[in-house]
Structure formats: C-alpha cells, structure tokens
A and B are shown apart, each in its own frame.
Chain A
Amino acid sequence: MGEFRMPSLGADMDVGTVVEWRVRPGDEVHRGDIVALVDTEKSTIEVEVFEDGIVEELLVEPGAEVPVGTPLARIGAVAEAAAAGTAPAPPAAPAEAEAVREAEAVPEPETVPEPSRAAPPRAPSGGKRRRRAKPLAAPQPAPAGRSDGRVRASPLARRRAADAGIDLSTLRGSGPGGAVLAADLAAPTDADVQSAPTAEEHRPEPAVSGAAPGAEAEPGAEGSTAGAKDRQAAMRHAIAALMARSKREIPHYYVATTIDFGAARTWLDDQNARRGVGERLLPAVVLLKATALAAREAPHVNGFWDDGFQEPPAVHLGVAVSLRGGGLVAPAIHDADRMDLDGLMGALRDLVERARSGRLRSSEMSDPTITVSNLGDQGAEEVLGVIYPPQVGLVGFGRIVERPWAVDGMIGVRPVVRATFAGDHRASDGHDGARLLTTIDRLLQAPEAL
C-alpha cells in the first residue's frame, strides 16, 4: 500500500481538482469507499479507493488542481499503521527515512575493509570536515520535465521518489541538464507548498464551487454562475480533445441494421401493465441488456485498445448521458450483462440522476468497456457514433418507430429500431460488428430471456 493518486477518470482527463476530502488521517478505508470529491472538466466525481488501509496523511489541500497520477494521500496497510500508531510518516522527515533505506540498501557495510593498512593518510591539514555533500554552488533550478514528458532523474532519485510517493515532475532538478538528484528530494515540501496556491490562483472558480460540495447545489442547474459557464467551456474542450483524438487515432468502421422491436414492445407492454409507475421498464433497458449480453459473445468489440486489443475484465456498459446544460458523459453500469432488467433499470435511473447532478464515481468514469448511445429520445432514427478511447466500440440506437415491415411474406406495421455499431478497425472487423448487431437482434426477439 502506498499513496492514493489522482485517478484518470477517462481518457480525456489530464488534471483534476480535489474539492473535498471525505476522509481524514487515521480513518480506515476499504476498497470502494469514496474518499474524495474530484472536479474534472466534465463533472464532479466521487473518487473511490481501491485498497484497504488507513489514511495516514492527506497530501493535497482541497482546491488544488493536480495532474493525473499525483499522490493525493498516503494510505498505509492496516497492520503497518497500527504498529506505527496513527502517526503518519510525513514526507518532511526524509532524512530519517533515508537513513533507514540506506541501512537496508547496503547489505554488509561491515565488510568494507579496514582502512588501517591504508597508505599515506591524507594531508591532515585541518582534518576532514564532516559536512554532508551539498551542491557546491547554488544549483540553477531547471524544470525537471522535458518536452517528451519524461523527467530527467537519477536512478536513485527515481527509486526514492517512488518509495516516498513523490511526483518527480513537481521537483526542480539541480543535476546536469536539470536532472533530479536524490538531494532534490530532500526538500519536496517547497514544491508542494508552491504548487497548491498556484493552482488555486489559476482556477479559482472550481475551487470555490467545490468549497461547498455538501450543498448538492444543483450543479445541473448550470448557467447561473460564471463558474458553471467555465465548467461548460471546459467540458466542451474536453469533449473536443477526446473526440478529435478518437477520429484521429481510431479507424472507425460502421455497420447498421434495422431490428424488429415488436416482440420486445409486446413483452414490455405486458410487463409494465402489471407494474406500478415507479417500476416500469423503459425500452432503453431492454436495448442495454441485449447489448451487454451480445458484447459478451462477440469478440473484440468490448474492451480496450492500447498497442493491441486488451481483453476487458467484464462488460461495463458505458451509457451516454446528455447533461441539461449541454455536453455529455458516458459513465459505466458495471457488469451490466449480469444484471436482471429491474436491476439494470434501477442502475440506469441512478446513473442518469447522478450524472446530471455531478455525483459520479471514479470507477464509473474510468471503467466502461463499450458504450451505448441512445438518441431515440431526441427523435433521431440513427446514430453513427464516435468511439470513446481507449474503448473499441460504440453501439447506437435510434428512435423506435413504426414502419411497414415484411415478415414471412406479409407486410405489417411494426415498431423497428435502427441499431448501429461503430467499431475500431484495429481491434475488430466489420464481420465482428455485424455479428454483434445480429446477436442483439436475436436477443431482442426473446425479451423474456433477457
């Protein structure tokens, strides 16, 4: 267990602002607990922790905007923290920690031969001064980061920074070419102290709006404050960056089919007739479930692309939710293929509600393995979507419309829905996409089995 870092809540997120801590030093946390609220360009996210442990120290003040990957808190193992009491190991005492590490690093310092048979001792003029080596002249500070994103640092500095949970890019290197040396780690607090207020100065609005996160002050009711306008502009910017990246990097292909929704409609009507208003199922839920099941069967349409196709751990269905003030998010319904329709309906309702109030969780933002965009509500008959990197597929559903439809040589009027699939041609071929849509079609013809 080490530090809890600013998570990447989607491929479009570079920085995040901690707006509120939900834990304090000494608190015991468990996997899945919400530990902080983080403001991204898109919305405020409830960030979960992924391991059990005890919060030793919060490293970032609320209001500070930090890059993805920055340590936010130090979390110790339960036993470890208990042994040390609740006293956190502050980074401000690196000398001690260093001494410990050094003692470990040198396996047998005693085996260094005695200097007793040494030759002429060094000129004893004034004796040796036992000053610790420091840079001999004032180091010229240079930014540690380079244009290619790699921080120049000595192996020792790199290892110690990793041990201490220090982000090398926040340090100024005093070594050749601005390289971060071990000595530069000794004063990380300077950099920390400087970076936090700077971030606040640059982005006051998110910090302010985040300062009152307890008031569920309708972040959905955007447009009333300058901060909300900034938020919208930021979201637009984030969407622009992500979608441009998608179209730039992902060779999209599209397949489409029209699905007879008659059986599903009949089954839904029958079900809903027996349910109270609050428990009724929306057609969207049936489409989502069919998609989740089909995604499990069809190869290479559910997952990620990162220098090759990455098998996903499960089917986490991203659901594109448009926000009232504009923009959209596509958080995940986890394990959608394993939920029954009622469970899925509840999850969808909860997700949309929280998406629109800006209360999504970090895992929901980062986990989707395939996304569904359903623009039927908006009246569009067909959606040709843009894939969310690093996902490799997006299923689109249009409006369910009644059309003349030929079945068994007869023409009848049937509800039909246009289903499309945008696929990443690096990961899959049109054949796979077509198979996905065919499977969705087949599943929708037996809605009672969903």
Chain B
Amino acid sequence: MKTTYREAMRAAIRDAMDRDDRVFLMGEDVGAYGGCFAVSLGLLEEFGPERIRDTPLSESAFVGAGIGAALGGMRPIVEIMTVNFSLLALDQLVNNAATLLHMSGGQFNVPIVVRMTTGAGRQLAAQHSHSLEGWYAHIPGLRVVAPATIEDARGMLWTALDDPDPVLVFEHSGLYGIEGELTDDAGAVDIDRAAVRSPGDDLTIITYGGMLPVALSAAASLVDDGVDAEVIDLRTLRPLDADTILASVARTHRAIVVDEGWRSGSLSAEVSARITEHCFYELDAPVARICTEEVPMPYPRHLEQAALPQPEEVVAAAREMLGAA
C-alpha cells in the first residue's frame, strides 16, 4: 500500500483510538483545522469532539491536563505544534511527567504520549525550526523516540501508548511528505532498539529522524567511491541503544554522527562520547560529527540549507576519515 509518513501517523492514531477507548488526542488545531501539519485531518469527523479535542493556546495548560488525564487512567495523545513551543510546557514535562513515578514512590505512572514536530527545512524560521529533542533525551523519566520511516510512524505510537511512562514522539516536519510502501499488516514496532537502515563495513553513520534521508543519501554517494557505509537510525533517543552502535563501530572502526541539533552539548556529543568510552581501541579515526551550524535557524532558504547538515558534508567527512582528504 502506497502511503506517506503523514498518513501512516494518522493511521496510527486511528488504530490507537479504535483499539482503546481511553485514547484521545488533544492539542492546538488538531480538530477543526485537521492539525497544523494535517496529521489529524478528518479524525474529528471520524471520532467526534470528545476524543479529538482542540485546546486553548497554552502548552502548559493542555500538557498539564494530559498528565492529569494519564494519572486518571486515560491514555492521552497530546500534540504540541513544534518542539520550540514545548518549552512553554517544559515544567509540566520535566518537573511533572518525568518525576511523578519517582516522587510517588512508584505509585503513579504517567502514561502520556506527547507528539511534536521538530526540525527545519520548511522556512519556518528560528522559532519553529529547532531540534531540541536532545534536551529531552537528557531527562531521566522520559522515553524519547524519533520515527524516521513510514513503518516507525505507523508503529511507534501504539507501543508508546502501551508504555506506562511518558513518551515523547518527535516527528520531523520534513518527513511528513515522504512516500513509500507500507504493508497492509503493518502495526506496532518496538521502541527499544536502533536499526541498521543500510548495512556496510567501512564506516558507521549514526543518525535519527530528519537526518536519516541525509545519511542514506550520503551512503549512496559513497558507494560510488567503493565505500560501504553502515547507516544506523537511533529510533529511540532515550534510552540510547548503545549495543547496536558499539557493535557496528567495533566492526567498521569509524563513526560519523549526523544530528540536526547544534553540536555543543548535543545528542551527537553523547553518542560520540559513548563510542569513545567503549570503543576507543577499535577506532581508526576520530569520531566525526555533522551538526547544524550554531545559529538560530535562518529564514532564507539558501541560508537555512547552509545551516543544515547536507549529504555532501557527510561524504566529505567520510572521505577524510578514509584517508582521501
């Protein structure tokens, strides 16, 4: 079945609503407008305003309401328009959702799923385009996932809802339009393991989310150089599946981390550090990182593209690593 990432995500929400009547969706413009990125288009008509709820423009309020609903036995899916806006709900997410199980001595789980878009590439400028998922990956008590494929868009939501603790789902806005085949029986997938998206022996490119197409494009270019790059999609940013990363790097001896976040204090720094801590004696080159330029995301297209990691940069880093600089 030919579909898109957006449709796969919508199918996932529909499937969850069908499976469990405790599931509902709420957020800004998810109902009448069909969602800012049209993910929930048509769901209001299908499930009604009780379960597809438009909320006031207060992230703190509706995320807090979602946490309360989860504590009360519901299975809320809360949509935040972009990760930039989630900062208004940071207190609810970090101080409440992430801590209540711990602070209640294990009495209260918070089975909330918070979906939000992340990333740049659509000329939405510096208040709608940043990749701050790495911040959330810092927080114990949260699980952070980043579906980068149609299968994961279709399959991660149900597993996240099934998780008794808060799960944040980061959907890169640049991925909504990608098209691909989805089998009719596609369903829930694990949210524990990283995935090898393209096997190779010569170097490992580690990435996630919106940078997966960039990494795969770079790997395809490198084939022409006779270089087999392995591409790993982290899928889950917290907890990191270090085993998959380390097993790959132990085999290829070279690693490039591609992260749309900024370099300093980033998820790419964490991945690089894990490799260096556990794979130092396997490394044949320093771990390389390709990250977004450390500027607020520019609005003009050419500047935005210049700020974002590009396949050519990944290819250049790979070539340098392999001794052909």
Contacts and interface: CB of A to CB of B under 8 A. Distances in A.
Contact of B151 (A114, A117, A158, A175): A117
B251 A181 contact: no
A130 B180 CA distance: 27
A241 to B, nearest CB: 36
B226 A134 contact: yes
B6 interface: no
B197 A133 contact: no
A123 interface: yes
A133 B244 contact: no
Nearest to B195: A113
Interface stretch (A36-44, A135-143, A350-358): A135-143
Interface string B225-269: 111100001000000000110011011010000000000000000
Nearest to B189: A117
A136 B202 contact: no
Interface of chain A: mostly helix, strand, loop or mixed = loop
Residue in A122, A130, A157, A174 with the greatest tally of chain B CB atoms within 10 Å: A122
Contacts of A134: 226, 322
A115 B247 contact: no
Contacts of A174: 323
A130 B227 contact: no
Range class of the B interface residue count = 35 or more
Contacts of B244: 111-113
Contacts of A295: none
Contacts of B280: 155
B82 interface: no
Residue in B148, B203, B216, B284 with the greatest tally of chain A CB atoms within 10 Å: B284
A117 B195 contact: yes
Contact of B197 (A118, A181, A183): A118
A176 interface: yes
Contact of A119 (B199, B212, B225): B212
Interface stretch (A70-78, A99-107, A280-288): A99-107
Contacts of A137: 324
A106 B247 contact: yes
A112 B198 contact: no
Interface string B163-178: 0000000000000000
B180 A112 contact: no
A107 B282 CA distance: 13
A198 interface: no
Contact of A115 (B189, B199, B220, B223): B199
Contact of A129 (B216, B223, B282): B223
Given A108-B247, A155-B282, A175-B323, A119 B219 contact: no
Contacts of B198: 115, 118, 121-122
A182 B284 contact: yes
A133 B227 contact: yes
A156 B281 contact: yes
A118 B196 contact: yes
Contact of B196 (A115, A156, A175): A115
A133 B226 contact: yes
Contact of A135 (B148, B194, B323): B323
Contacts of B220: 122-123
B216 A156 contact: no
A107 B320 CA distance: 28
15 contacts: A102-B251, A112-B244, A113-B196, A114-B196, A117-B195, A118-B195, A118-B198, A119-B212, A122-B219, A132-B201, A133-B203, A136-B226, A155-B282, A176-B285, A181-B284
Interface of A: 102, 105-109, 111-115, 117-123, 128-137, 139, 154-159, 174-176, 181-183
Given A111-B244, A117-B189, A118-B149, 11 more contacts: A118-B197, A119-B233, A122-B216, A132-B202, A133-B201, A133-B228, A133-B322, A136-B322, A156-B281, A156-B284, A181-B323
